[in-house]
C-alpha cells in the first residue's frame, strides 16, 4: 500500500512534531504540517492528500469551518482530532460531513492507535483496485532501500525475504545462504516471546547480538564474530479474519550511538570527580531549547538532589532567583549573549529547598554557536558564597543599627511624643531588618500581680499588627505561660533565638503569631524594670550575633532613659493641665473677673457659644455679654449675689450676632493668679430646644430617604430633601398625601407585610422594596420603619437607603464573571493542548528509553509531573463551575444513584435510605457524591459497603455517608478537607467542602478508626425537605 499522504492542521508546532513522530512508527504515512486553516486551504489547492487530520480549536477559522470550506469542492476524508468534547461540537462536526471524530485523552498509546486506525480506514476509501500494483512496487522499493534491516517470515515461520540493509548488517552475501532459517526453531527468542508473537502482539526490545556466541538461529553467520547493539521489533501481520499472514523483524543498528553514550558517560564521571573535589557547581544551558543540566554540587548548594531538581529549564531557574536579583541577572546575561562583555558573572540569591535564600557566585561563557553564528550553548560554574555574604550583611546591619540609634537619640532629645517613638521604632526596625518591633510596658496590679501591656509597635509591609489585640493588654506573665521570660528579663537577661529551639509551650504560643525568630531586650528606668523592646522575624529564621544583641541593648537603654524623662515631664504637664482641662471641658459658661467686673479669662464654651474671640472679650466689662437694655439690671443682681441677697441671675446671655441664650448665672469671690477675682458660672437651660433642633438637622441633612407620616391616616407630615430629590416631588405634592395617593409603592404585597410587622412589633427592619418616582422610574432600597411620638401623636418614621446603583453594579459584576469564566475555559483548553504534547512526548520517550536506561528515573519524574499538571487543570475546571449556576432542589437518592452507575463502583454495595429527601444545593452536588464514594475506594482499604442515610436534629438535617473500611485517624479528620492534602491530587474533599459551603452546608468526619469512615453533611433547617415523586 502506498504511503498515506496526511495533511496535519494544528496551531501548536510542538503538537505537530509530537504527533508526526508518534504516527510515523505506527503506519506508512507522509505528513504535511500547517499551523492554520488558511494554510491548509492553500495546500489543498495544489497538493493531493489522502486524509486530513485537523484540530478543532484554532484562531480565525476552527476545524469545523475548515471542513465546511473543503466540502464545497472535495470529499477527501476528514478526521477531527481535538480536546473539545461537547455534544454540540460532535453534532456540528457530523452535520458538516466529518468522517471520524477523535477526542484527545491522557493515554497516548491508545489514542494514537485509534488515530492510526482511523487514518488507514479513511485512506482505504481513496485507494482503488488499479493502484494495487503501483503500491506494491513502491512498497518493494521502500523495502529494498530502507536503512533498517527487515526480515519477513511466512505464517509457518519460514524466511521468505530479507532486505539489503539486513544482509549488510548480518554480513550475509545473499538470501540463499539463510533460506532454510526458521523463526520458531532458533534460540534467539524465548518460548514465551514466540507465543506472544503468535497471538498477534508486537514485541520490541533493545539487545546485544553476540555473533560469536550464536550457534544457531536466524542470526547465525559464519564470517562475523563481533558484537553489535540493536533495536529489534517483531511484528506479526494479521489479515482481516485475524489470522497471521506474515512476521516482520525490523533491526536497527545502535552500535555507534551506544559507544558514543558510553564514552560520554566515562568522560562525565571523570569531570564529576574533579568538580566534586573542588566543591564547585557546574551547569550547562542549551539556549535554543531552554534546557539546563547541573552536576550534583549545584543541586546540593540549594538543598536538592539532582533527580529532585531535574528536568531544569531556564524559566524554572529564573523562578528560583530572588525577584530583586532577576532583573540584573537578565541584563548581564543579555550583554554577554550580545557580545558586549566577554563572559557572564553575577552574585545572586537562589531559593533553597527549605525556602531560605542562598547566595551564589554564578559565572558562565558561551561555548557553542549555531550555523548562523548565534549563541547555542553556555556553560558555567556556581559557588556558594553565603558565608561571605552573611559576614558582609552583619557588618552592614551593625552600621545601620548604630545609625538608627543615633537618629533615635537625637530625635528623642527634642520630643518624646508617641509619634516620635513610633518613628524611632520604624527606623530601628528597618535597620535590623525585622518584621515587627514593639515595646511592652510593665506594671503591678492592685493585687501585686506583674502585668505587661503593649504600648508601641511598628510592622513591615504585609505583617498583621498586634497592638490592638486585647490579648496583649494587662497580660499576666505567669498565667499566660511567659514566666520564664519574666524571670530572665527582670534580671537583665535577653530572650533570643529561633522559635523551634524554644520550649514546646512557648513554640505553640509564638507560632500563632507566625513568629520564626525573636529577640527581647529589657528596658530599665531609674534602675527599675519598666518593660522590654521586642524584635520579631516572621518570614524566616535568623541567627542573632553577639554584636547585634549588644547594639540592641544600647537601644533599650536609650528607651529607658527617655521613658524616665517622659514620665517626669508627664507629671508636670498633668499638674498644669488638670485645672485647664477642668476649666475648658465644662459645658457651662465660666467667666473669671476682676473685682471691678472686667473679664480676665473665659473657658472655651464662652468663646464657642457666644461667637467672640478670646481677644475680643479679655479686658472688657462682663456686662457686654448681656442684652444692652438689661445690663443695669444685671449689674444690680450680681452685686446682690455677692452680698448674699440673691442666689442667681436669670438675665440671658447674648451672642455676638444678637441671639439670646437662656441661662442661670451664679457668682462667687476667689483668687486667680494670686489676685482677688470673681468667678461667674452661667448654666444653659435650653437643652430641650437644642435637642429638637439637632433631630431636625439630622433628618433634613441625611443622605437616606426619610419621611414621617401619621400612624392613623398614613398621610405624610414631613419628608427630607433626599426623599424629594430622589423621587422628583415638591414638598407641596407630598405633605398631606398618603403613599397610596402618590403611587409610590410598586409591590403592594410587600407594603402589606411591612404594615403587619409594624402593627405587631412597632417596627420593621431591613426590607428590600421597590418604589416609584414621580416619572415612574423604579428605585430599589432597604426600608426600615419605627413608631415615634410627636406632640402626643403617634407617627411613623420611615428610612430607606437607595441600593439601585449597587444592584446595577452587582449585575455588571455577574456579566464580568461570565466573561472571566469563558476566558478561563479557553485558557484551560490551550493548557490541556500543551499537556497533550507532554503526554505524546512521554509516550515517545517510553519507546526510546529502555527500562535499564539511566534516564528512566528522569522520565518517571517527567511522567508524574505531567500527570499532576493534568489533574490540577481538571480540578480548576470543577472549581470554576462552583457557584456559577443557581442552587436547585436536588433529590439525594437520584444524585447517588447516578454516580452508582460508574464502573469504578461496580464492586461496591451501595445502600441509599434517604427516600424522598431533597436538599437545596449547588448543581455540582453529584460531584460531592462521587468524591465521597471515590474517597472510600481509594483510602478505605477493604471497603465493600457504603450506606447513605439521613437523620433530623432540632437545628438541622444530617446526610451520612458511612463505609466499612479502615477509618480515618483523629489527627487527619480536619486535614483531609485541606487543599493538597492526601496521597493523590488532594483536591477531592477540599472541592467537596467548597461546593457544600455555597449553600451554607458543612461537612465533618466522625467515624471510628478501624470501623470505617463516616462523613456527616450538615444541612441547614431551611435547605432540606421531603418531596414525594410525582407519578
Q: Give the mean model confidence (pLDDT) for residues 587-603.
A: 91
CA distance 190 to 212: 19
Cell of 630: 438689661
Is 592 found in the same domain as 486? no
Please say whether the beta carbons of 949 and 914 come within 8 A. Answer: yes
Burial letters 191-218, b for 16+ CB under 10 A, else e: eeebebbeeeeeeeebeebebeebeeeb
Question: How many structural domains compose the chain?
Answer: 8
pLDDT at 222 over 60: no
Sign of CA dihedral 170, 171, 175, 181: negative
Please say whether the beta carbons of 251 and 166 come within 8 A. Answer: yes
Q: What digits encode the pLDDT tens for the residues 463-481? A: 989 888 888 888 888 788 8
pLDDT band at 913; cut points 50, 70, 90 = very high
| Inside any domain, residue 929 | yes
- Helix, strand, coil share of the chain (percent; to 5): 45, 25, 30
Greater model confidence, 228 or 443 = 443
So what's the pLDDT on residue 702?
84
Sign of CA dihedral 632, 638, 641, 646: positive
So what's the pLDDT on residue 377?
92
Is 226 found in the same domain as 312? no
| Inside any domain, residue 679 | no
pLDDT band at 129; cut points 50, 70, 90 = very low
Residues 6+ apart with CB under 8 A from 165: 146, 147, 148, 149, 150
In this structure, what CATH number is given to the domain that contains residue 241?
Answer: 3.30.450.20
Burial level of 122, CB count in 10 A (0-12/13-18/19+)?
Answer: buried
Is 125 found in the same domain as 160? no
Is 826 found in the same domain as 795? no
Q: Give the mean model confidence (pLDDT) for residues 149-176.
A: 82
DSSP E strands in 432-500: the ranges are: 436-444, 450-459, 475-476, 495-498
Compute the mean pLDDT over every residue in the chain, rounded to the nearest whole number. Answer: 83
Residues 6+ apart with CB under 8 A from 847: 25, 204
Is 224 found in the same domain as 272? no
Please say whether the beta carbons of 828 and 876 come within 8 A. Answer: yes
pLDDT at 581 over 50: yes
- Point out the domain boundary residue: 253, 278, 297: 253
Q: Give the mean model confidence (pLDDT) for residues 327-334.
A: 91
Q: Give the mean model confidence (pLDDT) for residues 19-44.
A: 89
In this structure, what CATH number is given to the domain that contains residue 985?
Answer: 3.30.565.10
- Point out the domain boundary residue: 748, 771, 802: 802
So what's the pLDDT on residue 626?
93
So what's the pLDDT on residue 654?
93
Is 910 found in the same domain as 871? no
In this structure, what CATH number is given to the domain that contains residue 843?
Answer: 1.10.287
Q: Which of 302-316, 712-726, 843-857, 987-1001 has the lowest mean pLDDT?
A: 843-857
Is 998 found in the same domain as 935? yes
Q: Give the mean model confidence (pLDDT) for residues 543-558.
A: 82
CA distance 211 to 209: 6
Residues 6+ apart with CB under 8 A from 904: 934, 937
Is 779 found in the same domain as 858? no
Q: What digits encode the pLDDT tens for the residues 179-194? A: 667 776 655 677 787 7
So what's the pLDDT on residue 875?
55
Q: Which of 42-56, 165-179, 346-360, 583-597 has the lowest mean pLDDT?
A: 165-179
Residue 943 φ/ψ, nearest 5 degrees: -65, 130
So what's the pLDDT on residue 1020?
93
Greater model confidence, 576 or 15 = 15
- Point out the domain boundary residue: 513, 547, 573: 573
pLDDT at 402 over 80: no
By C-alpha distance, which of 924, 919, 926 is closest to 1019? 919
pLDDT at 578 over 70: no
| Inside any domain, residue 527 | yes
pLDDT at 127 over 70: no
DSSP E strands in 37-148: the ranges are: 51-54, 78-82, 100-103
So what's the pLDDT on residue 498?
93
Please say whether the beta carbons of 537 and 515 come within 8 A. Answer: yes
Please say whether the beta carbons of 958 and 951 come within 8 A. Answer: yes
Is 408 found in the same domain as 540? yes
| Inside any domain, residue 137 | no
Q: What digits encode the pLDDT tens for the residues 708-747? A: 998 888 899 899 999 999 889 999 998 989 988 888 887 7
| Inside any domain, residue 680 | no
Read off the DSSP letter of residue 598.
B
Q: What digits encode the pLDDT tens for the residues 663-680? A: 899 998 988 888 899 999
So what's the pLDDT on residue 753?
87
| Inside any domain, residue 95 | yes
CA distance 255 to 99: 44
Secondary structure (3-state) at 189: coil
Please say whether the beta carbons of 553 and 494 come within 8 A. Answer: yes
Q: Give the mean model confidence (pLDDT) for residues 505-524.
A: 88
pLDDT band at 85; cut points 50, 70, 90 = low
Please say whether the beta carbons of 984 and 972 come within 8 A. Answer: no
So what's the pLDDT on residue 310?
87
So what's the pLDDT on residue 216?
47
Is 442 found in the same domain as 551? yes
In this structure, what CATH number is given to the domain that contains residue 548?
Answer: 3.30.450.40
So what's the pLDDT on residue 1030?
47
Could you tell me what percent of the chain has a pLDDT over 70?
88
Is 416 found in the same domain as 282? no
What element of type H or E holds 237? strand 227-238
Please say whether the beta carbons of 495 and 518 come within 8 A. Answer: yes
**Domain housing 420:** 391-573
pTM of the shown model: 0.31
| Inside any domain, residue 684 | no
pLDDT at 687 over 70: no
pLDDT band at 252; cut points 50, 70, 90 = confident
So what's the pLDDT on residue 1031?
34
Is 426 found in the same domain as 536? yes
CA distance 310 to 324: 25
| Inside any domain, residue 312 | yes
CA distances from 209 to 85, 219, 329 (A): 48, 8, 51
So what's the pLDDT on residue 917?
93
pLDDT band at 130; cut points 50, 70, 90 = very low
Amino acid at each position: 500500500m502506498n504511503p498515506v499522504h496526511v495533511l496535519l492542521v494544528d496551531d501548536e508546532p510542538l503538537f505537530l512534531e509530537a504527533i508526526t513522530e508518534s504516527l510515523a512508527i505506527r503506519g506508512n504515512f507522509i505528513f504535511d504540517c500547517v499551523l492554520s486553516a488558511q494554510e491548509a486551504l492553500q495546500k489543498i489547492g495544489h497538493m493531493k492528500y489522502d486524509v486530513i487530520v485537523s484540530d478543532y480549536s484554532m484562531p480565525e477559522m476552527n476545524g469545523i469551518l475548515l471542513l465546511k470550506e473543503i466540502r464545497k469542492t472535495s470529499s477527501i476524508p476528514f478526521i477531527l482530532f481535538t480536546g473539545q468534547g461537547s455534544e454540540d461540537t460532535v453534532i456540528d462536526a457530523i452535520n458538516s460531513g466529518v468522517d471520524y471524530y477523535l477526542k484527545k485523552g491522557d493515554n497516548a498509546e491508545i489514542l494514537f492507535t485509534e488515530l492510526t486506525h482511523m487514518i488507514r480506514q479513511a485512506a482505504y476509501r481513496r485507494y482503488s483496485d488499479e493502484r494495487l500494483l503501483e503500491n506494491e512496487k513502491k512498497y518493494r522499493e521502500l523495502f529494498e532501500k530502507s536503512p533498517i534491516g527487515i526480515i519477513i517470515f511466512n505464517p509457518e515461520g519460514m524466511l521468505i525475504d530479507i532486505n539489503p540493509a539486513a544482509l549488510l548488517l548480518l554480513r550475509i552475501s545473499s538470501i540463499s545462504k539463510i533460506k532454510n532459517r526458521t523463526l520458531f526453531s532458533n534460540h534467539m527468542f524465548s518460548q514465551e516471546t514466540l507465543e506472544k508473537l503468535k497471538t498477534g502482539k508486537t514485541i520490541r526490545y533493545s539487545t546485544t547480538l553476540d555473533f560469536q556466541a550464536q550457534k544457531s538461529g536466524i542470526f547465525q553467520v559464519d564470517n562475523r564474530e563481533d558484537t553489535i547493539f540493536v533495536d529489534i521489533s517483531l511484528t506479526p501481520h494479521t489479515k482481516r479474519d485475524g489470522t497471521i499472514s506474515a512476521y516482520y523483524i525490523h533491526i536497527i543498528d545502535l552500535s555507534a550511538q551506544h559507544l558514543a553514550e558510553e564514552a560520554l558517560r566515562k568522560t562525565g564521571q571523570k569531570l564529576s570527580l574533579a568538580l566534586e573535589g573542588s566543591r564547585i557547581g557546574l551547569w550547562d544551558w542549551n539556549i535554543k531549547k531552554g534546557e539546563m543540566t547541573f552536576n550534583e554540587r549545584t543541586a546540593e548548594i540549594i538543598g536538592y538532589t539532582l533527580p529532585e531538581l531535574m528536568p531544569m529549564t531556564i524559566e524554572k531557574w529564573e523562578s528560583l532567583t530572588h525577584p530583586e536579583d532577576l532583573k540584573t541577572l537578565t541584563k548581564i546575561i543579555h550583554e554577554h549573549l550580545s557580545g558586549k562583555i566577554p563572559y557572564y558573572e553575577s552574585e545572586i540569591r537562589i531559593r533553597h529547598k527549605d525556602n531560605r535564600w542562598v547566595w551564589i557566585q554564578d559565572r558562565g561563557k558561551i561555548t557553542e554557536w549555531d550555523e548562523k553564528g548565534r549563541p547555542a550553548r553556555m556553560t558555567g560554574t556556581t559557588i556558594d558564597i553565603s558565608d561571605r555574604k552573611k559576614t558582609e550583611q552583619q557588618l552592614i546591619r551593625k552600621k545601620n543599627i548604630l545609625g538608627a540609634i543615633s537618629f533615635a537619640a537625637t530625635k528623642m532629645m527634642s520630643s518624646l511624643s508617641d509619634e516620635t517613638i513610633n518613628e524611632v521604632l520604624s527606623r530601628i526596625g528597618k535597620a535590623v531588618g525585622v518584621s515587627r518591633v514593639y515595646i511592652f510596658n510593665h506594671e503591678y496590679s492592685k493585687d501585686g500581680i506583674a502585668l505587661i501591656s503593649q504600648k508601641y509597635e511598628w510592622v513591615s509591609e504585609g505583617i498583621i499588627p498586634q497592638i490592638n489585640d486585647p490579648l496583649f493588654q494587662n497580660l499576666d506573665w505567669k498565667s499566660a505561660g511567659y514566666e520564664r521570660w519574666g524571670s530572665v528579663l527582670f534580671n537583665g537577661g535577653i530572650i533570643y533565638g529561633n522559635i523551634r529551639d524554644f520550649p514546646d509551650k512557648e513554640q505553640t504560643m509564638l507560632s500563632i503569631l507566625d513568629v520564626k525568630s525573636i529577640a527581647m531586650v529589657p528596658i530599665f528606668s531609674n534602675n527599675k524594670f519598666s518593660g522590654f523592646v521586642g524584635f520579631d522575624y516572621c518570614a524566616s529564621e535568623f541567627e542573632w550575633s553577639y554584636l547585634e544583641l549588644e547594639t540592641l541593648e544600647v537601644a533599650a537603654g536609650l528607651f529607658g532613659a527617655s521613658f524616665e524623662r517622659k514620665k517626669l515631664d508627664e507629671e508636670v504637664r498633668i499638674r498644669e493641665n488638670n485645672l485647664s482641662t477642668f476649666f475648658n471641658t465644662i459645658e457651662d459658661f465660666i467667666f473669671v473677673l476682676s473685682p471691678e467686673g472686667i473679664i480676665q479669662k473665659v473657658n472655651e464654651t464662652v468663646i464657642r457659644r457666644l461667637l467672640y474671640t478670646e481677644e475680643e472679650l479679655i479686658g472688657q466689662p462682663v456686662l457686654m455679654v448681656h442684652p444692652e437694655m438689661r445690663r443695669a439690671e444685671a449689674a444690680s443682681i450680681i452685686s446682690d449675689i455677692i452680698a448674699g441677697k440673691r442666689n442667681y441671675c436669670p438675665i440671658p446671655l447674648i451672642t455676638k450676632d444678637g441671639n439670646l441664650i437662656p441661662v442661670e448665672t451664679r457668682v462667687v469671690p476667689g483668687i486667680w493668679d494670686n489676685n482677688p477675682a470673681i468667678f461667674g458660672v452661667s448654666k444653659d437651660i435650653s437643652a430641650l430646644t437644642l435637642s429638637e433642633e439637632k433631630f431636625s438637622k439630622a433628618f433634613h441633612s441625611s443622605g437616606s430617604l426619610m419621611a414621617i407620616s401619621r400612624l392613623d391616616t398614613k398621610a405624610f407630615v414631613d419628608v427630607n430633601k433626599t426623599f424629594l430629590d430622589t423621587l422628583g416631588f415638591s414638598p407641596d405634592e407630598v405633605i398631606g398625601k398618603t403613599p397610596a395617593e402618590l403611587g409610590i409603592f410598586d409591590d403592594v404585597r410587600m407594603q402589606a407585610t411591612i404594615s403587619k410587622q409594624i402593627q405587631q412589633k412597632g417596627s420593621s427592619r431591613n426590607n428590600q422594596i421597590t418604589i416609584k418616582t414621580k416619572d415612574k422610574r423604579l428605585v430599589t432600597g432597604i426600608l426600615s420603619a419605627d413608631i415615634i411620638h410627636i406632640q402626643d401623636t403617634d407617627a411613623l418614621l420611615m428610612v430607606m437607603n437607595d441600593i439601585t446603583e449597587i444592584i446595577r453594579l452587582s449585575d455588571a459584576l455577574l456579566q464580568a464573571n461570565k466573561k472571566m469564566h469563558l476566558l478561563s475555559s479557553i485558557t484551560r483548553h490551550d493548557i490541556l493542548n500543551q499537556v497533550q504534547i507532554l503526554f505524546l512526548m512521554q509516550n515517545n520517550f517510553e519507546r526510546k528509553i529502555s527500562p535499564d536506561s539511566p534516564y528512566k528515573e528522569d522520565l518517571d519524574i517527567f511522567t508524574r509531573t505531567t500527570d499532576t499538571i493534568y489533574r490540577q487543570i481538571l480540578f480548576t475546571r470543577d472549581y470554576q463551575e462552583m457557584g456559577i449556576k443557581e442552587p436547585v432542589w436536588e433529590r439525594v437518592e437520584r444524585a447517588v444513584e447516578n454516580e452508582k452507575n460508574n464502573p469504578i463502583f461496580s464492586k461496591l454495595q451501595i445502600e441509599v435510605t434517604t427516600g424522598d429527601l431533597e436538599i437545596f444545593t449547588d448543581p455540582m452536588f453529584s460531584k460531592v457524591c462521587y468524591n465521597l464514594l471515590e474517597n472510600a475506594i481509594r483510602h478505605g482499604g477493604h471497603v465493600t459497603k457504603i450506606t447513605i442515610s439521613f437523620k433530623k436534629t432540632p437545628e438541622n438535617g444530617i446526610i451520612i455517608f458511612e463505609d466499612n473500611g479502615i477509618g480515618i485517624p483523629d489527627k487527619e479528620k480536619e486535614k483531609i478537607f485541606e487543599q493538597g492534602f492526601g496521597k493523590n491530587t488532594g483536591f477531592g474533599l477540599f472541592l467537596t467542602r467548597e461546593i457544600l459551603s455555597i449553600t451554607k452546608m458543612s461537612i465533618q468526619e466522625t467515624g471510628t478508626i478501624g470501623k470505617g469512615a463516616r462523613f456527616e453533611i450538615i444541612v441547614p433547617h431551611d435547605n432540606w425537605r421531603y418531596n414525594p415523586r410525582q407519578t
